[in-house]
Amino acid sequence: MDFDLLGIVIYILLVPTLLALYVVLRRASASFTAIGTVFFFVGITVYFASNTSFCMLYLSDQYVAATTDVQRSMFLAAGQAMFTIFNVTAFEFSYVVVSAALLIVAVVMLRSTIFSRTTAYAGILANALAVGSIAVGSIPLIFIPTISVFLSLFSIVPLLIWFALIGRRLFQLGRNVPREEVNPN
């Protein structure tokens, strides 16, 4: 959980979803939909490039195989460095960029007639809370990390609702696409 393996799965599943949203929403606002899509791919690229999960797996195997306390200390220090690098810099950057991208997409949904206002507002709320959680958590000299965590966790509920509404609508749109008749010969 500390290395966000669930995030890897979620981001992979979001790729086809965001591409489908781009196709559906580009008529409502081609430029903002493109900007949101590009931001999303920048965010997940940073996320995947900096995710240290597999490095940590290697280091943990090396730690178990170590025969001296010096070797174990070395792998423990390397693991702590990996943990810090992922959780402090790249993860927060990718989290903010992806959330901002999804916020842009949710705002575009308001301009389209394809998605309901409920769907758009659920996406706006979820992603505004996600972006806000990092912004609040980075204010210096104020003890706000607890608020930041609650904002981040609270964003999950509208995010799940948003994804469910998007999935349902995309499924409805997919069923209504006219199919070409297949020639049996």
Q: Are 7 and 94 in contact (CB under 8 A)?
A: no
Confidence band of 40 (pLDDT split at 50, 70, 90): very high
Q: Is residue 50 a contact partner of residue 115, using CB atoms and an 8 Å limit?
A: no
For residue 79, name the pLDDT band (cuts at 50, 70, 90): confident
Q: What's the pLDDT tens digit per position in 161-182?
A: 999 999 999 999 888 766 554 4
CA angle 130–131–133, rounded 5-degree value: 65
Supply the DSSP string of 74-126, one letter for each residue.
Answer: HHHHHHHHHHHHIIIIIHHHHHHHHHHHHHHHHHHHHH-SSS-HHHHHHHHHH
pLDDT of amino acid 177: 66
pLDDT recorded at residue 139? 52
Q: What is the pLDDT of residue 32?
A: 96
Q: Is the pLDDT of residue 141 over 60?
A: no
**pLDDT band for position 35 (cuts 50, 70, 90):** very high
Inform me whether the pLDDT recorded for 64 exceeds 70.
yes
For position 151, what pLDDT does the model report?
74
CB atoms under 10 Å from CB of 107, counted, come to 17
Q: Rounded distance, CA 110 to CA 165, Å?
A: 14
Per-residue pLDDT of 85-99, as tens digits, reads 766 667 778 888 999
The residue ranking higher by pLDDT, 130 or 5, is: 130
Mean pLDDT of the chain: 83
Residue type, 20: A
| Domain spans, the chain | 5-175
- Quote the pLDDT of residue 138: 55
Nearby residues of 75 by Cβ (< 8 Å), 6 or more positions away: 59, 60, 62, 63, 66
Share of the chain above pLDDT 90, in %: 44
Comparing C-alpha atoms, which of 127, 132, 123 is closest to residue 150?
Answer: 132
**pLDDT over 60 at 185, yes or no:** no
pLDDT at 4 over 70: no
Grade residue 55 by pLDDT with cuts at 50, 70 and 90: confident
